[in-house]
Amino acid sequence: EETAWLDAYHARVREALAPLVDEETAKWLKAATRPLEPG
C-alpha cells in the first residue's frame, strides 16, 4: 500500500514538473520518479 502511494505521488510530481524543466532534467526526473520495484 505504501509503495502504491509513493508511486502515485511520484507520478503526480513527474506530471507537474516535467513540462517546466529542460530535457536533460526531465530525463533525470523520469528516472528519479519511476515506479518502485516490488520487494
Kindly indicate the confidence band of residue 39, based on its pLDDT and cuts at 50, 70 and 90: low
Kindly indicate the confidence band of residue 4, based on its pLDDT and cuts at 50, 70 and 90: very high
Flag whether pLDDT at 38 surpasses 80: no
**Which candidate, 37, 16, 19, places its Cα nearest to that of 6?**
37
Query: d(Cα 23, Cα 21) in Å, to the nearest integer?
Result: 7
Number of residues assigned to the chain: 39
Read off the pLDDT of residues 11-34 as tens digits, 9 standing for 90 and up.
999 999 999 999 999 999 999 999
Query: d(Cα 8, Cα 12) in Å, to the nearest integer?
Result: 6
How is the chain split among helix, strand and coil, in percent rounded to 5?
75, 0, 25
